[in-house]
Amino acid sequence: MTAEFKKPPEPRVELLGEIPPYFADGNGAWLVERALALLGASSVTHGLVHADDGVLWTIVRGNRMIFPSKGRWTPELRSKTIQQCRLFGGRGELFIWREAEDRWRGRVAVDQPETVYRQIQEKHILYGDRLDTSVSAPPGFTAIYEGTTGMRQIVPCIVTDSDFDGGHRIALTVTHYLSHDQDGQALISYSRLNAVGLTML
């Protein structure tokens, strides 16, 4: 007798329609408006942008994106240079990626209210094990670097020297939604970014 496995609930995942070529210009106004409309007001807290000229973190406050000051290793937000861009929070994620020159695709994943998901949380430790006091970071951000490699970034959370002394590091939390195949073997059906903050090693 073959066992039948009921498919567990998954987040609502939808492809975006046409994405304008200027989608990230104007300090990301279109991005924030679209993310809040799809994910819900106040449900987007952070953004992560991989661009041709570097990696850019952002904090979403209200209906705008807050960025670190542009510097030697902090790129400017420009649609033309974006490889991929994610706006995310506890409820879901808006993900846009470059498909070809001046052409992007996107999708949104949204947790449904009062739905219990089979999921696991995975923490990805970010480069940076000490403060970079030579860089002035805006409120809500901290400049950090990795002592062994010199890798530097400005992350969207507050960290102090004592946090690092206490064995903490900054981590990006990724949510993996679990499903199963016809044999009942567990598998990851979808993954999205969830949060960024301090974690204990």
- Please report the DSSP string for the chain in residue order: -----PPPP--EEEE-----TTTTHHHHHHHHHHHHHHH-TT---EEEEEETTEEEEEEEETTEEE-PPPBTTB----GGGEEEEEEE-SSEEEEEEEEETTEEEEEEEEPPTT----EEEEEEEPS-SEE-TTS-PPTT-EEEE-TTT--EEEESS---HHHHHTTEEEEEEEEEEEEE-TT--EEEEEEEEEEEEEEE-
Q: Where are the domains of the chain?
A: 12-110, 119-200
Rounded mean pLDDT, 180-186: 78
The mean predicted confidence, pLDDT, of the chain is 89
Least confident of 3-7, 33-37, 157-161, 189-193: 3-7
Render pLDDT for 41-67 as a digit per residue (tens, 0 to 9): 888 999 999 999 889 999 998 888 999
